[in-house]
Protein backbone atom coordinates (compact mmCIF):
# COMPACT_ATOMS: atom_id res chain seq x y z
CA UNK A 1 0.00 0.00 0.00
CA UNK A 2 1.62 3.21 -1.04
CA UNK A 3 0.84 6.74 -2.11
CA UNK A 4 2.92 9.36 -3.83
CA UNK A 5 3.27 12.91 -2.65
CA UNK A 6 4.60 15.85 -4.63
CA UNK A 7 6.01 18.67 -2.56
CA UNK A 8 6.16 22.38 -3.26
CA UNK A 9 9.88 22.08 -3.70
CA UNK A 10 9.32 19.68 -6.58
CA UNK A 11 10.19 16.38 -4.92
CA UNK A 12 8.04 13.30 -5.41
CA UNK A 13 8.02 10.81 -2.56
CA UNK A 14 6.56 7.36 -2.36
CA UNK A 15 5.10 6.77 1.09
CA UNK A 16 3.86 3.69 2.85
CA UNK A 17 0.19 3.99 3.86
CA UNK A 18 -1.13 2.66 7.13
CA UNK A 19 -4.74 2.10 8.03
CA UNK A 20 -5.82 3.69 11.28
CA UNK A 21 -4.06 6.91 10.38
CA UNK A 22 -5.34 9.87 8.46
CA UNK A 23 -3.76 10.82 5.15
CA UNK A 24 -2.25 13.81 6.97
CA UNK A 25 -0.55 11.48 9.44
CA UNK A 26 0.70 9.23 6.64
CA UNK A 27 2.27 12.25 4.93
CA UNK A 28 3.71 13.57 8.18
CA UNK A 29 5.10 10.17 9.15
CA UNK A 30 6.55 9.97 5.69
CA UNK A 31 8.77 12.87 6.63
CA UNK A 32 7.27 15.58 4.45
CA UNK A 33 8.28 18.86 6.05
CA UNK A 34 5.95 21.18 4.16
CA UNK A 35 2.72 19.93 5.68
CA UNK A 36 2.30 22.02 8.83
CA UNK A 37 -0.91 20.38 10.07
CA UNK A 38 -0.86 22.81 12.96
CA UNK A 39 -4.07 21.74 14.64
CA UNK A 40 -2.99 18.13 14.66
CA UNK A 41 -5.87 16.93 12.55
CA UNK A 42 -8.98 18.22 14.28
CA UNK A 43 -10.22 20.22 11.27
CA UNK A 44 -9.50 23.57 12.89
CA UNK A 45 -6.98 25.07 10.48
CA UNK A 46 -6.29 24.48 6.82
CA UNK A 47 -2.56 23.82 6.98
CA UNK A 48 -2.82 20.28 5.59
CA UNK A 49 -4.37 21.39 2.30
CA UNK A 50 -3.54 19.00 -0.57
CA UNK A 51 -4.65 18.39 -4.14
CA UNK A 52 -5.71 14.81 -4.90
CA UNK A 53 -5.46 13.08 -8.25
CA UNK A 54 -8.76 12.86 -10.07
CA UNK A 55 -9.10 9.10 -9.97
CA UNK A 56 -8.59 8.83 -6.22
CA UNK A 57 -10.80 11.80 -5.52
CA UNK A 58 -13.91 9.74 -6.25
CA UNK A 59 -12.90 7.13 -3.67
CA UNK A 60 -12.72 9.60 -0.81
CA UNK A 61 -15.39 10.17 1.80
CA UNK A 62 -17.50 13.21 0.97
CA UNK A 63 -16.32 16.58 2.11
CA UNK A 64 -18.00 17.81 5.31
CA UNK A 65 -19.34 21.33 5.59
CA UNK A 66 -16.59 22.16 8.12
CA UNK A 67 -13.87 21.02 5.74
CA UNK A 68 -15.54 22.81 2.88
CA UNK A 69 -15.71 26.08 4.83
CA UNK A 70 -12.08 25.83 5.90
CA UNK A 71 -10.94 25.18 2.36
CA UNK A 72 -12.87 28.23 1.27
CA UNK A 73 -10.36 30.29 3.23
CA UNK A 74 -7.58 29.25 0.87
CA UNK A 75 -6.90 31.28 -2.21
CA UNK A 76 -5.47 28.14 -3.84
CA UNK A 77 -8.58 26.01 -3.55
CA UNK A 78 -9.61 24.05 -6.60
CA UNK A 79 -11.89 21.10 -7.36
CA UNK A 80 -9.19 18.65 -6.24
CA UNK A 81 -8.64 20.31 -2.85
CA UNK A 82 -9.01 18.36 0.40
CA UNK A 83 -7.73 18.61 3.94
CA UNK A 84 -5.50 15.57 4.43
CA UNK A 85 -6.50 15.24 8.09
CA UNK A 86 -10.09 14.52 7.12
CA UNK A 87 -9.26 11.48 4.99
CA UNK A 88 -8.84 8.17 6.81
CA UNK A 89 -6.21 6.09 5.07
CA UNK A 90 -7.61 2.83 3.74
CA UNK A 91 -6.25 0.10 1.45
CA UNK A 92 -8.58 1.51 -1.16
CA UNK A 93 -6.36 4.55 -1.49
CA UNK A 94 -3.38 2.57 -2.73
CA UNK A 95 -1.85 4.53 -5.59
CA UNK A 96 -3.28 7.87 -4.53
CA UNK A 97 -1.32 10.93 -5.56
CA UNK A 98 -1.32 14.02 -3.39
CA UNK A 99 0.27 17.36 -4.07
CA UNK A 100 0.96 19.77 -1.22
CA UNK A 101 -1.03 22.95 -1.93
CA UNK A 102 0.84 26.27 -2.04
CA UNK A 103 1.07 28.18 1.21
CA UNK A 104 -1.62 30.78 1.88
Partner 1 sequence: MEQGAELIDVLIVGAGHGGAQAAITLRQLGFEGSIALLGDEPYLPYERPPLSKDYLAGEKDFDRLLIRPKYFWEERAIKMLVGRKATKIDPMAKTVWTETGETFHYRNLIWSAGGSARTLQCPGAELEGVHTLRTRRDADGIKHALSNTSTVVIVGGGYIGLEAAAALTKLGKSVVVLEAQDRVLARVAGEPLSRFFEDEHRSHGVDIKLNMSVKRILGGPSVTGVELSDGAVINCEMVIVGIGIIPSVGPLIAAGAAGRNGVDVDAACRTSLPDVYAIGDCACHPNEFAEGRPVRLESVQNSSDQAIVVANLLSGKAAAYAATPWFWSTQYDLKLQTVGLSSGFDQFVIRGNPLLRSFSVIYLKAGRVIALDCINSIRDYVQGKKLVEAHIHVDPADLADLDVPLKSWLECLAS
Site residues for partner 1 per CB under 8 A: 9, 21, 25, 28-29, 31, 33-34, 36, 38-40, 42-45, 65-66, 69-70, 72-73
Distance between CA 60 and CA 80 in Å, rounded?
A: 11
Closest distance to partner 1 from the beta carbon of 78 (Å): 17
Contacts of 35 (CB under 8 A, 6+ apart): 24, 27, 28, 47, 48, 50, 84, 100
Residue (34 or 92) nearer to partner 1, CB: 34
Closest distance to partner 1 from the beta carbon of 92 (Å): 21
Amino acid sequence: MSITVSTRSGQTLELEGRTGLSLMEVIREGGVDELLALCGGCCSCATCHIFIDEESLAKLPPISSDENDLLDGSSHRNERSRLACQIPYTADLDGLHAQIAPED
